[in-house]
Structure 1
């Protein structure tokens, strides 16, 4: 088939690679004039890594991933370790390590694997028109194209979703702002091979190792949406919100270059079950925009991509049948994970103070099994189990 993918993010690129391996002619249209990674890094859990293994990228993703051997929660105010444990039992259970990875590194890997020459930049799709045997695509610059199938991988602000659902879906503010970036590993802040989270007051400061002897760092602060902000002041803002926190957090903030920090107001979209209409289908954030609180956003986009490509390959009763099977396989799992992330978000960021304080207390008696079971529940159910 001649397939057009709208959006050159992680989901769109993964789908393009998989579909090309099955012999389809694939073109990716990206509205940006230059592809830039959105966010500093991504938590690539074992199910996401397996999707890349399936595409033959095992050694390449290993070279980009951080060596994350353990996990710890630390009281951000007094620096007391609440829990700390090895992630080895989790990796043994699922058969694959997790790899935190810089988004730019991952995106460059996927673009190279797909082929830069088949990514058309500066092409903002503004309209789709379906016909019995093809879809017509109109772009903002006046160009037109046609495809047998259009895949909407155009993110949380998806235009393709409007076509599929026939209505706009408003984003829901999750209640917190996230700052994220990359710094050189500093073991005075956190161990080099550990996912370390400092928590307290509904706030969170996390560090994950990625390749290149770097930490992916992020700060979560419950704040109102729409506040004025100046990138030059990001460091000062973080200093104000964490002025009374422990020494490692202060050291971390002093290491930051405000010009290389990203600020994101976190949103999700109420889950829905319709992923396709005719010859147009959704994947990734276009289909299930979620908060990052369980680290499954990118992984679910990859799962979508692999299952969609496989559904088109192994089902022979026609395109509609293959798309319906993809939708019915993916929509319930994505809904469950979206709602699970929303629940975790509310607890972590003190939507209910009593629940959050209770969670902090449970961390002191946590030996690792409960947290790893939660992560395991997110990983299992993927198309490559």
Structure 2
């Protein structure tokens, strides 16, 4: 079977590898002209890592991952450590260590494993049509390709999603999460936090955090609540928002090379919806469930999609249309639930209700982390990659 995948991001390339490993002919198209992903890095919790293990790239992903052994919260202005605890229980309960990884490194790995000859960059999808036995994709340069199945992994502003939901469906609503995220990579500096620790400074509805990734780097991010559409120099915005915070945060600000690694991303998500397929076309990843990063499950959820799609294609034989409906039915509820969990978490931590956020800050003082760990594991437990086992 020939399968067209639209989008060479984490979801599209992982789906492509899964389908290729099943013996299908896969061609991936993406409008980007080079590997320049949005966002510097991502959190791969055990559910995402397990999918990558299943795809045969587990050792390479482990080499890309940072040694994140502990988690700590600190007060933003004072730097006082509120709590610190081991992340080992997550590995013990779920059967897999978590890895923060640089997004470009992971995407390059997946593109390489899929094969450069199967990826067409600089190709913007402008049309999809079906005739009952095949699906045809048309691109802006006039290129036309026909296949047995088309998978749209083309992001939050997905063209494929518009085709799947149809012209008469109500629009899929994007919801502003209420804050802007600034992220990038800096050399590890223990003045900011230990090299083996996820360190987060919190106060005033804002966050500044670092996670270790490979090659002696911290992935950093800052969250600043505020209206959408505000522009200006990103580093100036960070210094205005965090200039009065603790020395560790100042060391992080001083380490940023804005020309090399500083991204500004307004955080939006998409209200959950259940129309993921139309005929021989289906969507996955951000096209199906664009999720705020507040629980670190965006990329993991896309990887779960790739796993579920691969299983459906490998095991269902009635028709392409039936296979895709079964794939979607296995994913819609869980993916939508993760969107809503991330939305609720963002509301709790970003000061939209000051009393709620202050209560969260108080809960961090002296905690042994058991409640936080339960929340992280709870996001993982329902993953299809766990085959119903949950946690041990």
Using structure 2 for the length normalisation, give the TM-score.
Answer: 0.96
**Aligned ranges for residues 131-280 of structure 1 at < 5 Å?**
131-166=131-166, 167=169, 168-229=171-232, 233-259=233-259, 260-280=261-281
SS where residue 384 of structure 1 aligns?
Answer: helix
Q: Is the 8 A contact 1:202 1:356 kept in 2?
A: yes
**How much is the aligned-residue C-alpha RMSD, in angstroms?**
0.9
Deviations 1:293-347 (A, max 9, x none): 0000000001101110110111122222221211111000001110000000111
1:32 CA displacement: 1.5
Task: Describe the superposition over 1:128-171 as per-residue Cα deviations: whole angstroms up to 9, x where unpaired.
Answer: 11111001111111111111100000000100000011144232
- In 1: Cα distance, 2:362 partner to 2:32 partner: 46
Shift of 1:35: 2.5
Q: Does the 8 Å CA contact 1:84/1:368 hold for their aligned counterparts?
A: yes
CA distance in 2 between counterparts of 1:377 and 1:132 reads 41
Tell whether the 8 Å contact from 1:303 to 1:382 is kept in structure 2 after alignment. Answer: yes
The residue that corresponds to 1:74 in the other structure is: 74
Superposed displacement of residue 228, structure 1? 2.3
Q: Equivalents in 2 of 1:58, 1:309: separation in Å?
A: 17
Which consecutive unaligned segments of at least 5 residues does structure 2 have? 387-392
Moved more, 199-208 or 374-383: 374-383
How far is 1:268 from its partner? 0.2
The count of aligned residue pairs is 382
State how far apart, in whole Å, the 2-side matches of 1:160 and 1:226 are.
26
Taking the TM superposition and a 5 Å limit, the aligned residue runs for 1:1-385 are 1-166=1-166, 167=169, 168-229=171-232, 233-259=233-259, 260-385=261-386
3-state DSSP of counterpart to 1:198: strand
Does the CA contact (< 8 Å) of 1:206 and 1:219 recur in 2?
A: yes
1:366 positional shift: 2.0
**Contact residue 158 and residue 287 of structure 2 kept, 8 A:** yes
Distance 1:384 1:10 in 2: 17
1:16-67 per-residue CA deviation (whole Å, 9 max, x = no partner) reads 0010000000000111222212110011111000000001111111100000
Is the Cα contact below 8 Å between 1:235 and 1:257 reproduced in 2?
no
Q: Flag structure 1 segments of 5+ consecutive residues without an equivalent.
A: none
What SS does the aligned partner of 1:178 have? strand
- Cα separation, 1, equivalents of 2:275 and 2:142: 30
Cα offset for 1:227? Answer: 1.2
1:120 positional shift: 0.6
C-alpha distance in structure 2 between counterparts of 1:138 and 1:315, whole Å: 28
Q: Distance in 2 between matches of 1:47 and 1:358?
A: 30
